[in-house]
Structure 1
């Protein structure tokens, strides 16, 4: 049975994410063709069919526009985060979350996986994009730590931050190892690489 179509606030959020995604795809296309320095916000907005004012309602900078996740995957991540509770170790639950995310990349074959590889390759050539990614990742980490600390009813976020930072580091190392191997013509399996990285973390 198919899921009911979203309505009300859910529909508005879905439309907001779709607009955000559309702007991001145009920004990424332009960055790949002409570089970040030679791309303007007006060009991105025109390509996405929105005004520059609308662009800035979604993104603080043009670099940030290329760093948006996939809509369906983001929604699934939200569902998994909503299900996190105190019954199991937080690190184990975060590893389940990341395993689902990495699985959705389908070794670069899915839309989300292809998008990930495009952004990563662009980041290697564009220092400004790498800097923007670091800032955005830091904010997302802070937001996730605060959210999980509230969800688990904790008075202090130290344990939550350690779990989030550690699991995030494993994912970053995994993605770097996987993408580097692909670029070198000796591809490795993404989920198998993640499983090995998790095993190393637990062995420490």
Structure 2
């Protein structure tokens, strides 16, 4: 590498890092304001004032307040889809989804911490669940994600998603478990990513038995269920 090349590349790296810092600062400020004073009560002006930038700068990184609310969740979902596409073809659809979500959670804690604290992510999740407009958006996004997952599963299995119901049925069952574990995690005392991963694994491992098993038989547990009561 020549001196001339270093002069060209160094400013570009600085600009990209500055852009990343600005975006992260806007995201953190937005989520803090949303979770402390309310989503509807927080304006874009309040967010940019907290970071000391212009509205124009905000809209350079985010299309709306709603986009900032779901930015971390979007990252988590993208990580899951990437993991799912990499799963070996020898795995069954459910095995692939289970492995993908658990593998994603192995590293997602650090990725979340690069943007916000896990504690703030937890507060944001609770805010979404308690804010009607955001809950509606959350459900809409969940449907879109389920469709994407079903398309990946159908492609893996060489199926026509329009004529074979199995990809959508499998994804609906999987997504239902994910919603339940997310809600239980959001109500619990342990806000760690490890607690969410453990809870997810336990509930996914009981899906088959819940659908076709004998409910009067003793339940076998591979791990201690985390304490999920609120308080």
TM-score by length of 2: 0.62
Q: State which of 38, 43, 47 in structure 1 corresponds to 2:41.
A: 38
User: How many angstroms does 1:167 deviate by?
Assistant: 1.2
Cα pair distance change 1:100/1:118, threshold 3 Å: farther
Structure 1, unaligned stretches of length 5 or more? 1-10
User: How many angstroms does 1:112 deviate by?
Assistant: 6.4
Structure 2, unaligned stretches of length 5 or more? 1-12, 212-231
- List 4+ stretches of structure 1 deviating above 6 A: none
What are the equivalent positions in structure 2 for 1:37-186 lying under 5 Å apart? 37-45=40-48, 47=50, 49=53, 51-52=55-56, 55=59, 58-59=62-63, 61-69=64-72, 76-104=79-107, 113-156=118-161, 158-182=165-189
Alignment correspondent of 1:26: 29
Distance in 1 separating the partners of 2:35 and 2:122:
12
Larger gyration radius, structure 1 or structure 2: 2
Q: What is the SS of the residue equivalent to 1:119?
A: helix
Equivalenced residues, count: 186
User: How many angstroms does 1:41 deviate by?
Assistant: 2.8
TM-score by length of 1: 0.69
Cα pair distance change 1:54/1:192, threshold 3 Å: closer
Distance in 1 separating the partners of 2:23 and 2:100:
23
User: How many angstroms does 1:179 deviate by?
Assistant: 2.9
Distance in 2 separating the partners of 1:163 and 1:39:
39
Distance in 2 separating the partners of 1:169 and 1:103:
21
Deviation track 1:118-147 (CA, whole Å, cap 9, x = no partner) reads 212212442222222112222222233234
Cα pair distance change 1:28/1:141, threshold 3 Å: same
Q: Which one is further off, 140-149 or 158-167?
A: 140-149
User: How many angstroms does 1:66 deviate by?
Assistant: 0.8
